[in-house]
Structure 1
Amino acid sequence: MDITAVVPDQNSTVVPVLGLSFYAMASGYLMSLIPLSLHSFGLSETLTPWLVSGFYLGLLMGATQVESIISKLGHRRSLLLFLSIILLTTLAMIALPSAAVWLVARLIAGFAVAGVFVAIESWLLMVNTAKQRAKRLGLYMASLYGGTALGQLGIGPVGIEGVVPYLVVITLLLMAIMPPLMVTKGQPAHSQAQPLSFAQLKEINRAAMLGCFISGMLLAPIYGLMPVFISDGIGTDKTGILMASIIIGGMLVQPIISLLSPVMSKKFLMSALSLIGVAAVAIIVIANSFALLAVGYMLLGACTFALYPIAITLACDALEVGKIVITTQIMLLSYSVGSVFGPLLAFQVSSNIDKGLLLYLAICLITSGVYMLIKAIIKMRSDKATLAG
């Protein structure tokens, strides 16, 4: 069922942005903490790609189910529910540190994270103009990436050994729960409407869906495998700084996206960012100083983290408010499919080739850049033909 905003001016940004900021700090720390802390819990590092893919499989499952939960409970209560589930799965991991428990916990957490994303994204995007949506999406991405970057920095001072880092994550999740728990007003009014037909679903922009898919193929390995890749190369003490550099790059590019997205071809913008991302990979490979390495990772983050929000706005262009939730759900579904396969493919490449993770990212970025450029050119020629006619 679709969800239709009834009174857009009552749709406040305070609760979703505050909740998202604390969640992002917890998630940013946790995503790097899990692969780096396996040894301290007596678990094998070969479990890493399966934990990442299991998490995103849960995200994929959630992307097909959470819209109906949000429709029944409303945005605020749904957000409370999903954040609480993530907290409980984190508790289960430290209480029962075994491969089976961790795999199941990450699968369930992935389902809940899908709920968090769909609830917050649709909460913010359920407004009537493209300009408002672009502005709110910029705020959303800045909060998400800013919080995630701060969370990455916890690797240094808090560490990766034992239970204490996970207790910090749980504390941050409790803080994320506070805004929707305490503030009961400001969520979008909603009502149940007719579901979208299959014909309407086919009208969703295919380039937008592919953009989300490629984003998943890129970001899941960056979140799940990059911490180990960096740690093996330069040591754990600088891993948090470089991971934070990636996410800060993603955060800094958001205002630029908000300005450019409404006034230029989103397909061309995704193409340009993808190809710049290839250059960022080259900088990382040839870097002969930590400063240049940090610049390369920051540029990589700017390019890879930009694809998802641009794809979302492309999908939502000219949509009625009532179709926003189902559309964000489909975009998350596309992202999740890419996120399930990405870590496994990246792990295979990195296991057989030196700097294979970087090669994998470059291949994904080149593919995305060329495809989006071709689609942008086709659209441009079509528009010119229409005007000429």
Structure 2
Amino acid sequence: MSRQLLAMALAPLLGLFILGIGNGFLATVITLRLDAAGQSAVVIGWVSSAYFIGLALGAMLNDRLLLRIGHIRAYGSFASLVAVTVLLQGLVEHPWAWFLLRLIGGWATVGVYLVIESWLLTAGDQKVRGRLLALYMISLYAAGVLGQLLLGVTEALGGAASFMVIAMLASLSVLPMAMIPRVSPLIEKAEPLSPLRLITLTPTGVMGSFGSGVAVAAVYTLLPLYLQRIGLPVDRIGQMMAVVVLGAMLLQYPVGRWSDRHDRQLVLIAIGAFCTLISAAVLWLPMNLWILAGLLFLLGGGVFSLYPVAVGHAADRAPAGALVRMSQGLLLINAIGSALSPPLVSPVMGALGDAGLFWAFGALGLFLVAFFGWRRSVRPAPVPVAPFSPSTPMSSVGAELAVTEELMQGAMEHEHVEDLSGAVPEVAVAEPLVGPPPPDEAHIAYFDEPEAAEAPAQEELPGIEPLPARG
């Protein structure tokens, strides 16, 4: 990777890292504040879902603004809007006002992601895109870990301090983008595929993206509520959430490499079963702080790995020229799953208690295992073509041996035929090494036609003598 490319990618990655620090613990702050205000889990779920509804709307609409005003100005507009909505949440603490502000904030946040992803995808070619996107994911998850660790510090300040810090970070993230030379890559407009078209192309990819949205949204919005209700202080909640994101960051690459070497449907089945086992362990094992941290680390690695493996499977089945549209469509499906997650999972917590969160995780994992297994039985993975193994007749040495054997057999027959009729068998002059090209079909002598056999071979092929008889 060239220094020029790294320098071009540094500004958007740095801006994403700064904004991601604040965005990493904003959802946790909102959940804890609503719970402290006495709001029910259902209300908390609806306010949390507003953010993901905004993500889905932005995934469909924000590319038009980006194409119209360019990367740098679009980033400044989206990041400034994130800062304004966060500051307004610090001033107004009504849940339905927060619902509207979270909706706008989600729309602006996905605009930031769209700018960064399109910048990186179009800045490099196919040889370096994988590494650029790996840096993108590392920056995002590292910012999330740091943001969760800042949760206890900002909440200890009280009041609107947390919202002020998050808004300041969103504003500061504009500086790296504004200070670079005004050169940005060009992108082409690409409309996402419709959900029905995606379902027909890759049902496994669609369901994996949807299930990932449900699970990740539940982790960000309802896991802090579970941790608070089991008695953990705010700083411990931030540390536990950091452990979850750390597991996602560290296990992402091994799972991705595993999926590159094996059938991705089997990997998806294994991830679903793994998340179910971890959820069962949280529900039934005797729990202390260290065991809970270890299980949440593994849960983060499994839940956050579901989406990239599903997208990789969909890309394997994508028709030529449809990768970009398929990626955008799966992003929309993921956002829809995220928007539906809190309203679906929070009633389970209301009915089964705080542990209902992990009952929901376990049920989701079992459903995904069943669905992926059914899809594999309906449409199994393509069998790879058997590797080529040369045999003796296929190799150049084998062909040479075959021709030599025929010539030897023809030479042996030549002695017998010459004694009977004096005719020269045609095999004696097959594949000449020198001389003119072989005669056409009108001059070929056949043994069952005596008139043609009496013609001397020297007249047909001058300069070529028949093979001598072997005695």
1:245 equivalenced with 2:234 (yes/no): no
Matches within 5 A, 1:30-179: 30-38=26-34, 44-46=39-41, 47-126=43-122, 127-129=124-126, 132-159=128-155, 161-179=158-176
TM-score for the superposition, normalised by structure 2? 0.72
Structure 2 gaps of 5+ residues are 388-471
In structure 2, distance between residues paired with 1:269 and 1:290: 30
Q: Using CA pairs below 8 Å that are at least 6 residues apart, which structure has the higher relative contact order?
A: 1
- In the alignment, which residue of structure 1 is the partner of 2:336? 337
Task: Say if 1:316 and 1:11 are closer, same or farther in 2 by CA, change over 3 A.
Answer: farther
1:207-243, CA deviations, whole angstroms, 9 ceiling, x for partnerless residues? 2222111111111111111101111113224111111
In structure 2, distance between residues paired with 1:250 and 1:282: 19
Q: Secondary structure at the match of 1:288?
A: coil
Q: Secondary structure at the match of 1:262?
A: helix
1:12-44, CA deviations, whole angstroms, 9 ceiling, x for partnerless residues? 43223212212221111111011112366x573
Bigger radius of gyration among the two: 2
Q: For residue 107 of structure 1, report the CA deviation from its aligned partner.
A: 0.7
Would the aligned equivalents of 1:265 and 1:376 in 2 still touch at CA under 8 Å?
Answer: no
**2:282 is matched by which residue type in structure 1?**
I
- In the alignment, which residue of structure 1 is the partner of 2:455? none
Q: For residue 93 of structure 1, report the CA deviation from its aligned partner.
A: 1.2
Q: Secondary structure at the match of 2:383?
A: helix
Task: Say if 1:81 and 1:303 are closer, same or farther in 2 by CA, change over 3 A.
Answer: same
Task: Say if 1:95 and 1:154 are closer, same or farther in 2 by CA, change over 3 A.
Answer: same
Task: Say if 1:353 and 1:45 are closer, same or farther in 2 by CA, change over 3 A.
Answer: closer
In structure 1, distance between residues paired with 2:374 and 2:183: 42
Structure 1 gaps of 5+ residues are 1-7
> Which has the larger helix fraction?
1
1:45-100, CA deviations, whole angstroms, 9 ceiling, x for partnerless residues? 55311111111111111121112222223333322222111111011111223233
In structure 1, distance between residues paired with 2:189 and 2:151: 44
- In the alignment, which residue of structure 1 is the partner of 2:416? none
- Give the CA RMSD over aligned residues: 3.0
Q: For residue 144 of structure 1, report the CA deviation from its aligned partner.
A: 1.3
1:347-367, CA deviations, whole angstroms, 9 ceiling, x for partnerless residues? 010101131010001111222
Q: For residue 333 of structure 1, report the CA deviation from its aligned partner.
A: 0.9
- In the alignment, which residue of structure 2 is the partner of 1:256? 254
Q: Secondary structure at the match of 1:159?
A: helix
Q: For residue 387 of structure 1, report the CA deviation from its aligned partner.
A: 7.0
- In the alignment, which residue of structure 2 is the partner of 1:362? 362
TM-score for the superposition, normalised by structure 1? 0.86
Of 325-334 and 354-363, deviating more is: 325-334
Task: Say if 1:243 and 1:150 are closer, same or farther in 2 by CA, change over 3 A.
Answer: same
Would the aligned equivalents of 1:125 and 1:324 in 2 still touch at CA under 8 Å?
Answer: no
- In the alignment, which residue of structure 2 is the partner of 1:3? none
Task: Say if 1:200 and 1:364 are closer, same or farther in 2 by CA, change over 3 A.
Answer: closer
Of 68-77 and 8-17, deviating more is: 8-17
